[in-house]
Amino acid sequence: MADSLTDGPWQRFQDELAKLPAGELVVRLGEAVDSRMDDLMAAVERAATGTGNPQDAVVPAQDAVGLLAQARGELRRLTTTDPLTGLANRTLLVERLQEVFDSVPAGGNQPSLMVLNFDTFKFINDALGHDAGDAALAAVAERLVRTVGKPHLVARLGGGDFAILVEGVPAEETLQLTAKIRAVLETDIVVADVPVRVEASIGVRFGEAGLAAAQAVHDADMAMQAARSKGGGKVEFFVPTMQEVARQRVQLISELREAITFGGLQLRYQPVVQLPTGRIIGAEALVRWDHPHRGPMRPDAFLTAAESGGLMADLGRWVLQEAISQLGSWLPGMENPEAFKLHVNLSPDELRQRDLVALVRQLLADENVPAGNLAMEITEHAIMTGNSDTTRTLADFGALGVGLEIDDFGTGYSSISYLRNLPVDTAKIDRSLIQDVAGDPGQRDFVAAILQLIRAAGLNVVAEGVETREQADQLSALGCPLAQGFYFSRPVTAEQLTVLLQANAPLPAGN
Ligand code: C2E
Ligand code: MG
Ligand code: MG
């Protein structure tokens, strides 16, 4: 009988067991397998020591083959499934991708890979907790599976990243599928009783015969990043030039890091004036980068790179230091210093910094600047994508006496009732609303209504992007007290603003 233990299925079982890392079976297989294993081992033991029925070893030896098959199946399932959503994981996706790319029939439909990132996932996790984040991911997975259907494979890559292998359909159908996915994600999902947006950025890589699976994932991911950098909810298709764009972005980030550290940034200051007098009552600090090859760069060209490169906190700190120090040197020379406000923009990333308020308090103290001379400009988007620290930061700024303004008002949610619950004191009406205020009576009435609404909420108001005298006159007639824009002055250097402040003459200059 002992011979049967050294050959045949039992030997194969032992061989297979020996290949598994120590402890793997016990740790990774479920209890059912575990207890059957104990029975099996006990039977083997009895057979080997001659204490049991000699038949024992035969039965387990057969049993062992089934057990091994079950164990293999279970192991395979565990190593290819995402436990949270039950979807395929990256391992299975890559295996399937390679199989599919290796067997694209000549003239057949091109398989494609989509990578989806849920931009709001991090926000849900931060604001509502990890259980809510998990529930959101499970809900998203369920929607994707329902929308995509067979034979396509939906996988979770990790975090808020999903992927879909689309096979056997013409390219147009892949396009339709992206549209369907976006449509099905448009409905908010409810987690922890809160309805949340689940917008996804989608990158698509059409595959070809012989494409390496890892390359496809990399390319689709790059397309997704490109979609993401254009704002949430976009789709981008991989093109080889993306490689170059990504390389340039990486280079830009490293150059910007140097610029922040070694004095490559500058601030411009755009006057904020009183209407109708045109007297300067404040200024907005706007960052510029004097790039060694590209020349002066506007913030729109490098702030997204700063965000994606994790440089926003450092950049913001530099801006605050520079702006507050400049403010400290302007105030003593002014006739009416308490009326002057310097406006500084804060990005979503900066607002999430826990030590932001402490930093500002310190800088104000160092430069001997009263908190009331400083105002922070924040977009609604920054507040909506913030976390619990953001809300605390706003409250702390309010308590410190620093002004808080909603920038680009009229382009986001613009919910007055929401604003009333925040320690915000001013709304800055966006240029897009101002543009037609002089030409279009409908737009004038609209702006008039917005002004009324803002005032009724007890907020102060600034109109930004005023470019013509007609716009300035119209806003003045509507009772808008403050304005800013090219009509009065472009953003100027600190020295130029010093001259304007000393002249104390109305803007536009020469009027
Ligand atoms: P913003 O805060 O809404 O700033 C106003 C932008 O409109 C500025 O562009 C300004 O130059 C421009 N502008 C002012 N008046 C007019 C006008 O009459 N017509 C037109 N067409 N444009 C006008 P800029 O300096 O390129 O800044 C763009 C955005 O970059 C800013 O929008 C702000 O969101 C961000 N930004 C600028 N500086 C900083 C900074 O130091 N930190 C952060 N976090 N963001 C900044
Ligand atoms: Mg601003
Ligand atoms: Mg603005």
Structure tokens at 17: 């067991």
> Relative to the alpha carbon of 409, which ligand is closest?
3
Provide mean pLDDT across the span 429-440.
Answer: 93
178 in contact with ligand 1, CB cutoff 6 A = no
Q: Which of 35, 56, 80 is the last residue of a domain?
A: 80
Strand partners, 266: 288
> Relative to the alpha carbon of 382, which ligand is closest?
1
Mark whether 215 and 323 lie in a shared domain: no
Distance CA 463, CA 480 (A): 7
Centre of ligand 2 from the C-alpha of residue 284, in Å: 7
The string of pLDDT tens digits covering residues 272-285 is 999 999 999 999 99
Question: How many domains are there within the chain?
Answer: 3
Among candidate residues 261, 267, 270, 262, the one with its CA nearest the CA of residue 296: 267
Residue 61 lies in a domain: yes
**C-alpha distances out from residue 66 to 6, 38, 62, 128, 148, Å:** 18, 15, 7, 46, 35
Residue 477 lies in a domain: yes
Q: Please give the residue range of the domain that contains residue 379.
A: 249-503
| Strand 112-118 versus strand 161-166 pairing type | antiparallel
Ligand 1: which residue has its CA nearest to atom 23? 465
Residue 175 lies in a domain: yes
Ligand 1: which residue has its CA nearest to atom 3? 408
Q: Which of 239, 265, 289 is the last residue of a domain?
A: 239
Least confident range from 24-28, 47-51, 106-110, 271-275: namely 24-28
Centre of ligand 1 from the C-alpha of residue 369, in Å: 24
- Give CA 115 to chain center in angstroms: 15
Mark whether 105 and 73 lie in a shared domain: no
Whats the size of the chain, residue-wise?
Answer: 511
The string of pLDDT tens digits covering residues 379-420 is 887 887 767 778 889 999 999 999 999 999 988 766 676 777
Pick the residue with more confidence: 453 or 491? 491
Tell me the residue type at 327: L
| Strand 200-206 versus strand 112-118 pairing type | antiparallel
DSSP state, 104?
P
Mark whether 235 and 280 lie in a shared domain: no
Mark whether 256 and 114 lie in a shared domain: no
Mark whether 475 and 378 lie in a shared domain: yes
Least confident range from 214-223, 228-237, 409-418: namely 409-418
Q: Which secondary structure element, helix H or strand E, spans residue 260, and what is its range?
A: helix 241-261
Ligand 1: which residue has its CA nearest to atom 12? 465
Mark whether 232 and 370 lie in a shared domain: no
∠ CA 318-322-328, nearest 5°, is 145
- Give CA 277 to chain center in angstroms: 42
Ligand 1 atom at minimal distance to the Cα of residue 268:
25
Centre of ligand 2 from the C-alpha of residue 411, in Å: 13
Mark whether 26 and 99 lie in a shared domain: no
Mark whether 282 and 183 lie in a shared domain: no
Mark whether 23 and 150 lie in a shared domain: no
Mark whether 115 and 232 lie in a shared domain: yes
Mark whether 49 and 109 lie in a shared domain: no
Ligand 1: which residue has its CA nearest to atom 27? 299
Pocket test for ligand 1, best of 270, 302, 319, 345 (most atoms within 8 A of CB): 345
Q: Which of 239, 267, 297 is the last residue of a domain?
A: 239
Mark whether 464 and 499 lie in a shared domain: yes
Distance CA 120, CA 385 (A): 8
CATH code, 335? 3.20.20.450
